[in-house]
C-alpha cells in the first residue's frame, strides 16, 4: 500500500485467499526478480476464479499488484476495500483517456505493478484490447507475462521484456508462451493473440 495500513477485513481476506489456493494445490512461481514497475498481462482470462487465485498467488509471492476499476466502485462502502485489494480508480466519464491516466500514475509512483486482462471479459473475444501495450510503451516499463495454468495448478509471473513498439513481434513471443498454458475454460480463450489490431494511442481501449 502507499502510506496507509490495510483494514482488518482486507488482511483477513488476503490470508484466506492464500490459504485457499494452497489447499487447492496451487503453486506460485516467478522467473527472476520482479521489477518495481511493470504492466502484468493477465491472460487467458476465462473465469472469475482467475482473480481469486491470482490474489492468493501474488500475495504468497509477497507482491502487491494493482488493477484498474471504474470510479463508481470506490464509493462507500466498497471504497476502502477496493483500494486495499489494489484497485486504482479510472474515470471514463467525459471522455477520459485511461491510457494516459495510467502512464501518469506510473510517473507518480516509485512502485507500481499494474495487472491488466487484455481480453477485457471472461467471454471469448476476437481480439485483445491493446491499451495495456500502449501503457507499458508510454510509461517505459516492462511487460510481464502473468500465468494461471489450471492443468498444472501453477501460477505467477513468467517472462518480462521491454515493449519494442512492434506489437506483432512482441505479441508473437507472448503467444508462444501461452500456447503451453491451460486456462480454466480453454474453449473461451482466443485462438491467436495476433488477431488483435493495434489501435491508435489516443483510442486504445
Q: Where are the beta strands (DSSP E) in 3-42?
A: 27-30, 37-42
Does position 91 have pLDDT exceeding 50, yes or no? yes
Which sign, positive or negative, has the C-alpha torsion 11, 13, 18, 23? positive
Closest CA to 28 of 47, 6, 7, 53: 53
Strand-pair category, 66-70 with 87-90: parallel
Which helix (DSSP H) or strand (DSSP E) does residue 141 occupy?
none
pLDDT 10s digits, 65-82 = 999 887 787 888 777 888
pLDDT 10s digits, 99-137 = 999 999 999 999 999 999 888 554 555 578 899 999 999
Would you list the domain boundaries of the chain? 1-142
Highest mean pLDDT among 22-31, 134-143, 166-175: 134-143
Regarding pTM above 0.85, the answer is no
Amino acid at each position: 500500500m502507499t502510506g496507509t495500513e490495510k483494514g482488518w477485513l482486507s488482511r483477513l481476506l488476503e490470508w484466506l485467499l492464500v490459504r485457499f489456493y494452497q489447499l487447492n494445490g496451487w503453486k506460485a512461481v516467478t522467473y527472476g526478480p520482479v521489477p518495481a514497475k511493470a504492466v502484468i498481462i493477465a491472460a487467458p482470462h476465462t473465469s472469475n476464479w482467475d482473480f481469486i487465485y491470482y490474489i492468493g498467488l501474488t500475495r504468497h509471492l509477497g507482491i502487491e499488484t494493482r488493477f484498474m476499476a471504474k470510479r463508481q466502485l470506490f464509493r462507500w462502502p466498497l471504497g476502502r476495500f477496493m483500494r486495499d485489494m489494489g484497485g486504482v480508480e479510472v474515470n471514463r466519464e467525459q471522455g477520459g483517456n485511461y491510457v494516459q491516466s495510467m502512464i501518469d500514475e506510473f510517473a507518480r509512483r516509485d512502485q507500481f505493478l499494474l495487472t491488466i486482462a487484455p481480453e477485457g471479459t471472461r467471454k471469448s473475444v476476437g481480439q485483445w484490447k491493446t491499451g495495456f501495450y500502449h501503457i507499458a510503451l508510454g510509461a517505459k516499463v516492462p511487460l510481464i507475462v502473468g500465468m494461471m495454468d489450471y492443468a498444472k495448478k501453477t501460477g505467477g509471473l513468467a517472462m518480462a521484456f521491454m515493449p519494442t513498439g512492434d506489437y506483432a513481434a512482441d505479441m508473437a513471443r507472448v503467444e508462444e508462451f501461452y500456447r503451453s498454458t491451460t486456462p480454466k475454460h480453454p474453449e473461451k480463450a482466443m485462438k491467436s493473440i495476433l488477431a488483435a489490431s493495434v489501435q491508435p494511442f489516443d483510442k486504445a481501449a
